[in-house]
A = this chain, B = another copy of it.
């Protein structure tokens, strides 16, 4: 029987050889954490390599994603469908082994990591989802949701602010099944961290209410003991602060930044082979070690035990079991089409002026009860974001059964945790903040988009019209800048009906995040015929038309649709042929076929005006070189909302003037 150290050394050698072959990558962290990985994966982790999608598997998150070769090595060795050919093509185009792990459930990669700190924050979401689903679905004798979330995190993760946000929240919520291994090797890219990172991290986590242990992270017995103690602690998340040596095994570079982010070099690799007593050439692994690593049988047995439990659960609680399966499959309830019809009908029934943040809450009030997987929250702006629907139940440290979370003032942590919730499955997270503060969470929004996760971002107070809070709170560039994030679908509805359609589209959109951009101020409701109503979901449609070919096209979104509608009506009253296009979702509109787009925005009509209370930058694509854009390319001002809007030209008069100038320009 090989020793634990010999088993760990397989990971070390694989990592250093794959990095050497790619001549690029990070050998240091895998070599330092190999012993921890060996103990965790061979002795504790509940998983079935033959079914990486098993719902009750433990989740393993490599927050220090640059240590990707450690994960690839583990997946390969324990029996996931990740062959040695993929390891040999580490970091190469087309491989399943990119430089940083990319969300790839069929081979056991739970989340994309690399942007530091976010894997840890994802993990808080995973653990939260487990806790909530356990509270919702487990029944006496039937712990069908009962798994751990394990995290590897490095000094970089611990320096990042998002680690504070997420771990403070995890401590408050007593997420006892979250266990984090902190790879405290004292080295980051710039060198020995003591010059810029002198925290007592263990103490910091104690301040968050975590269960904390300090161990030698290269002592297998200590690691196993610490894991058992962490598992025994059920009401606090656990930090295991592991002292390790980065690049351990490298004869001259171990313990230095030289092992962090580049190949060790031929000589050092040869030296490491000697030190690790490893005589085989790269990518060859002795059968005995392979066999000791293989988890196929144990994994199948583990899942079989759960399947047996779930079978009995299904007999005892058939409705609950069916609901659990539906939710874990990510399918909406059978009644969903009714919810959509009801939400849109209710939107159409609104006649009074209403802020779209209020319209949004009305949608939630209506559809929420029928979609129990909707899990809401806000970064401490609940009464402003209107994200708490009637009857929703906030979870608390004392009672985690619920469907709403007060995330605290933690936009980044919230969003990264929402990514983890979505990745876990069983819940559809939505969360609110002010549009401006999407800035704080921006890379987590990107990660949701990169991973194609159904995460719904509720961004209210969407323009300078928010008024007195002033320039720090008034979004300017955020609208267009969010539209630039690939695979994020952004909706900026103009009234209650568009808000209902946007919410339904966001909930149905299972392959990427959606952002709902909502006003603070009241908006006029726009009347629509059936064609216009059907057009909303296409992202852009004719809201007000004229007889004959338009002389001018006006395109507006959100709160500027009402302003533009008034201007168009006045211009029409003055004999102009003007069409108003409402464009709540440019991405959806862009995805329509050319014929539909041409029917809405005929190429022949080049007198065009776009109106949106945000930067003008992206609108030139829609209005063309000769067009006009009424937007705002500078910061706002503190004052009453209507006065601010007037000051910056978001008025009916200004739009009408632009329409007239636009038509005259064409006639010159």
Cβ–Cβ < 8 Å partners of A527 in chain B: none
Are B468's CB and A24's CB within 8 A?
yes
Count of residues in A whose CB is under 8 Å from the partner chain: 109
Copies of this protein in the assembly total 2
A490 at interface by CB-CB < 8 Å: no
A594 at interface by CB-CB < 8 Å: no
Q: A468-B22, A617-B617 given as contacts; is B190 within 8 A of A93 (CB)?
A: no
Cα of A232 to Cα of B257 in the assembled complex, Å: 38
Cα of A163 to Cα of B204 in the assembled complex, Å: 13
In-complex Cβ contact of A165 among B160, B484, B638 (8 A): B160
Closest chain-B Cβ to A67's Cβ sits at a distance in Å of: 13
Are B473's CB and A484's CB within 8 A?
no
Are B380's CB and A156's CB within 8 A?
yes
A499 at interface by CB-CB < 8 Å: no
Closest chain-B Cβ to A612's Cβ sits at a distance in Å of: 13
Closest chain-B Cβ to A253's Cβ sits at a distance in Å of: 15
Are A381's CB and B189's CB within 8 A?
yes
A525 at interface by CB-CB < 8 Å: no
Hey, what's the 0/1 contact readout for A407-421 against B, CB within 8 Å counting as 1? Answer: 111101100000000
Are B159's CB and A617's CB within 8 A?
no
In-complex Cβ contact of A486 among B91, B405, B633 (8 A): B633
Of listed A162, A188, A204, residue having the most chain B CB within 10 A: A204
Closest to A200 in B: B207
Cα of A189 to Cα of B410 in the assembled complex, Å: 13
Closest to A405 in B: B196
Cβ–Cβ < 8 Å partners of A413 in chain B: 161
A384 at interface by CB-CB < 8 Å: yes
24 A-B residue pairs with CB within 8 Å: A25-B468, A98-B637, A100-B471, A102-B471, A116-B409, A159-B408, A160-B409, A161-B164, A161-B413, A164-B164, A169-B196, A171-B199, A195-B394, A195-B406, A196-B406, A203-B203, A203-B206, A203-B207, A207-B207, A436-B443, A450-B635, A480-B617, A606-B625, A620-B621
Known contacts A93-B639, A161-B413, then 13 further A-B pairs from the complex at CB < 8 Å, ordered by chain A residue: A92-B468, A94-B639, A114-B473, A115-B436, A115-B440, A160-B409, A160-B440, A161-B410, A172-B198, A450-B635, A477-B486, A480-B484, A483-B617
8 closest A-B pairs by CB? A161-B161, A93-B639, A98-B638, A164-B164, A114-B472, A624-B625, A439-B443, A203-B207
